[in-house]
Amino acid sequence: MGSRLTPQEYIAALRREGGALAQAARQDPTRPVPYYAGWNVADLVAHTGAVHRWVLGIVRSRATERVPRGPYEDRDPLRLLAWFEEGLAALAGTLEGADPSEPVWSFGADQTVGFWQRRMAHETAIHRWDAQSAFGDAQPIEPRLAATGIGESLAVHVVRPVHGTAVGGHGESVALRCDDAPDRWLVVLLPDEVRVEEGEGTPTASVAGTASDVWLFVTGRPAVGIRVSGDATVVARLQDVIRSVPGPTN
């Protein structure tokens, strides 16, 4: 049995991680963010806040089709952070009062409010890590939240976008193992797709570490705490596939 969180736990994580992101940003919104070339912390806050408001509109309107997402251009620190915190509170309150099973549009296979309850906790947690990394103080992501993020990131940000492209695999596989969570995945590289299975199987190589570090690896971020065993070239090939996805993976 893998890690599971209730909708209320995801919403609590959204509030906690969003608050920590804002706290980091107050130190210096102009600080460059290592993972995003050309972005500073203010850009990261504006991006995350724009995603929050986009999802807020989707859930409030019970949209059944994708709706446009507009950018937030104002980088004045006080106005930006006030706008971000206002949107965070509105999103958390709306998701908290919504039925997880209610149908809405999403970019995943799960077309319900529950997708957005999970996704917004994941999105905000990974960007909180990004913001803190700008100051050299990135704190690990809570293990159960990170473990649920791994599976969803693989499905939504790796398997789906690379399907039908030249992956170049021949059945090589990488097992992903979390030291602090029961979750295990087997990532199989095929000629034109990546397949993900739960469990370890018989892998060509393995990547192990805390759930936080394995999630960072899966999203293409630096994960200094992971341990690689088996054929390291297969792990490197998987990293290349992850980094080939256009734009940030979260």
- Tell whether 28 and 118 lie within a shared domain: yes
- Tell whether 160 and 129 lie within a shared domain: no
- Tell whether 51 and 172 lie within a shared domain: no
Phi-psi region of 194 (alpha: psi -120 to 50; beta: other; left: phi over 0): beta
pLDDT tens digits, 113-161: 999 999 999 999 999 999 999 999 999 999 999 999 999 999 998 998 8
Which of 56, 77, 75 lies closest to 67 in space, CA to CA?
56
pLDDT of 242 > 60? The answer is: yes
Distances (CA, A) of 79 to 45, 74, 244: 11, 8, 35
φ, ψ at 172 (rounded to 5°): -65, 150
Pairing of strands 172-178, 184-189: antiparallel
Question: Which of 101, 121, 139 marks a domain boundary?
Answer: 139
Distance CA 28, CA 16 (A): 20
Q: Provide the residue range defining the domain that includes 22.
A: 7-139
pTM for this predicted structure: 0.94
Distance CA 225, CA 61 (A): 42
pLDDT of 250 > 70? The answer is: no
Distance CA 206, CA 234 (A): 9
Mean pLDDT of all residues belonging to the chain? 94
Confidence of residue 166 (pLDDT cuts 50, 70, 90): confident
Amino acid at residue number 40? N
- Tell whether 46 and 132 lie within a shared domain: yes
Pairing of strands 172-178, 205-209: parallel
- Tell whether 225 and 188 lie within a shared domain: yes
- Tell whether 113 and 170 lie within a shared domain: no
Q: State the angle between helix axes of 7-27 and 77-96 in degrees (0 to 180), rounded to the nearest 10.
A: 180
Provide the number of structural domains found in the chain. Answer: 2
- Tell whether 110 and 154 lie within a shared domain: no
- Judge whether 148 lies within some domain: yes
Q: The domain that contains 30 carries what CATH number?
A: 1.20.120.450
**Which residues are 209's β-sheet partners?**
178
Query: Hunting for tokens 């130190």 — which residue is that?
Result: 27
- Tell whether 175 and 90 lie within a shared domain: no
- Tell whether 135 and 215 lie within a shared domain: no
Query: Residue 93 contacts by C-beta under 8 Å, 6 or more apart in sequence?
Result: none
Which of 34, 51, 40 lies closest to 75 in space, CA to CA?
40
Which of 37, 40, 44, 1 lies closest to 21 in space, CA to CA?
44
Amino acid at residue number 161? P
Confidence of residue 89 (pLDDT cuts 50, 70, 90): very high
Question: Which of 139, 156, 178 marks a domain boundary?
Answer: 139
- Tell whether 182 and 101 lie within a shared domain: no
Q: What is the mean pLDDT of residues 191-215?
A: 93
- Judge whether 126 lies within some domain: yes
- Tell whether 186 and 160 lie within a shared domain: yes
Question: Which of 139, 156, 185 marks a domain boundary?
Answer: 139
Q: What is the mean pLDDT of residues 8-23?
A: 98
- Judge whether 2 lies within some domain: no
pLDDT of 249 > 70? The answer is: no
- Tell whether 119 and 209 lie within a shared domain: no
